[in-house]
Amino acid sequence: MCALAAPAVAPRRRLMFMIAACAAAIFAGLEFYRCVFRYDNDFLWHRNLGLDFLNDRVYETFAFHYPPARAMIDAVTAWLPYRVDRALWLVATCAGLAWCVRFWSTIGAAPGRRWGLPAGIAVAVMGCYIVRDLPECGLQLFLLCMLSVGLWALLRGRPALCGWSLGLAAVYKVTPVIFLPYLLWKRQWRAAGWMAAASACFCALPAVYLGWQKDVTLHRQWLSFVGYTLSLEDPSENGVEKPVLRNQSFPLMLARLVQKYPADHPLYVKSDAFVCLARLEPPQAKNFVRAVLACMAIALAWRFRQRCDLSDGGISLAGEWSAVCILIAIMSPLCWLQHLVLAIPAALLFAQAAAARTVMRWQVIVAGMATGLALLVHRDLIGVTLCDMLSCYQPHTVAALLIMLLVLTLGPCRAVQEGELPAEIINLPFGLASTGRQVPLPHPGQVEERPDAAAVRWRRAA
């Protein structure tokens, strides 16, 4: 009997995979063309800032709200042809986004479980912010990569790399300086010291090209502008642009809920459906915003009071880090939708926890609310009138706050609850190895005598 010939048609699964891959390649090509050749937006603004740096004309026309080191960063590729510059940034930031998704997903995933599907769901929910940043060639995704590298380095016991990464982020966009008090509060003295030293080095680096006196003058102008914006009595003003409803800044949201605006003010809402909690004058509204932010800082300080500990699989540290990333976005005086890509790590952590079934019912409900606010508040879905009314309450800011609440209330993964930890958490002082092998936690009586540092690590794991 002759053997049956193999079927000429490929298996259905392989065929479906090939169709999906071709569709993804076509979509990626169209998106690449759209982002590189069809847009001239904030990326062009930053490119011009970089050209001003190369031509020694920084702060002559605009950009007082960025430190001189940001102009230096923008100048690194500003000498390239414009479309080549856009393509380079877009490809680099997309690669960085892929790495960030894998990094945060592997932290949040339960040992032995695949993280691809939950990560895909989280990225789909955050897609409304990603598609806003891709036409900007991933300027905010680049910031997300720097913040993620900081956690990656800290988990592997490399405080110097952590500090340099966060220091670069602090001069790239000023609000990441929030990580400095966070590291000090978590008793990470070396990382905090390296961050402060790196920030100072990056601030002094433009002097190599512009000269020391010019660099000092530029920093004086920048600090003068910062002092001016902080002295504004109206909390709705940012000193850079006129206040607009689409600004997702958290202090602005608080001010709009209690402040009285004249009829000709850009933030004045004519609709009777908008409910204002109070009608305060700007100085009183600013005091209210300060009080709320102070209460929020006290609550977060209490939540972050414990030292860095990996006995829960690193979920607590990663959750706190992702929460600070969200604060960096929403505490900025100017927060547009593309800035909320910094909420991606928190969404990835919660998605992995939900896949491992370690979340509670109320967390699922809150996650559904955050998803609805992020995806459904759109004119084409709910109509222009309802969308404009809901936009007065800044639903995307509320969604970011809900995601931050979820990630700060996550518990350890199921494997950790059952007494298992990744081998790298047990074997390294403060890091993750590449093995991924799972071993049971040793019983305290089974731990043999070791040097002091190793014994401390085993006791923590136990």
| DSSP classification of residue 40 | -
The pLDDT of residue 313 is 64
The pLDDT of residue 85 is 92
Residue that the structure tokens 């063309």 belong to: 33
Angle between helices 159-172 and 139-155 (to 10 degrees): 160
The pLDDT of residue 310 is 67
Residues 6+ apart with CB under 8 A from 131: none
The pLDDT of residue 3 is 53
Residue that the structure tokens 């988990």 belong to: 155
The pLDDT of residue 382 is 76
Burial of 230-262, coded b for 16+ CB within 10 Å and e otherwise, reads: eeeebbbbbeeeebeeebbbbbbbbbbbbbebe
User: How many C-beta atoms surround the C-beta of residue 323 within 10 A?
Assistant: 24
Rg (CA), the chain: 24
Residue that the structure tokens 């961050």 belong to: 195
- pLDDT (tens digit, 0 to 9) for every residue of the chain, 462 residues total? 455 554 544 567 777 778 878 887 887 888 888 888 888 888 998 999 999 999 988 887 766 788 999 999 999 999 999 999 999 999 999 999 999 999 999 888 877 778 888 999 999 999 989 999 999 999 999 999 999 999 999 988 899 999 999 999 999 999 999 999 999 999 999 999 999 999 999 999 999 999 999 999 999 999 998 888 888 888 888 888 888 888 899 999 999 888 888 888 888 877 777 778 888 898 899 999 999 999 999 999 999 988 877 676 678 889 999 999 999 999 999 899 999 999 999 999 999 988 888 888 999 999 999 999 988 887 767 777 777 778 888 899 999 999 999 999 886 654 444 444 444 343 334 434 333 333 344 443 443 433 444 444 444 444
d(CA 386, CA 379): 8
Record the tokens describing residue 228, joined without a space: 């001016």
Nearest 5°: CA angle at 327, between 75 and 77?
Answer: 10
Contact between residue 397 and residue 377 where contact means Cβ atoms under 8 Å apart = no
Record the tokens describing residue 104, joined without a space: 């945060």
d(CA 457, CA 462): 9
Element (H, E) at 255: helix 250-258
Nearest CA-CA partner of 443 in 459, 457, 430: 459
The torsion region of residue 281 among left (phi > 0), alpha (psi -120 to 50) and beta comes to beta
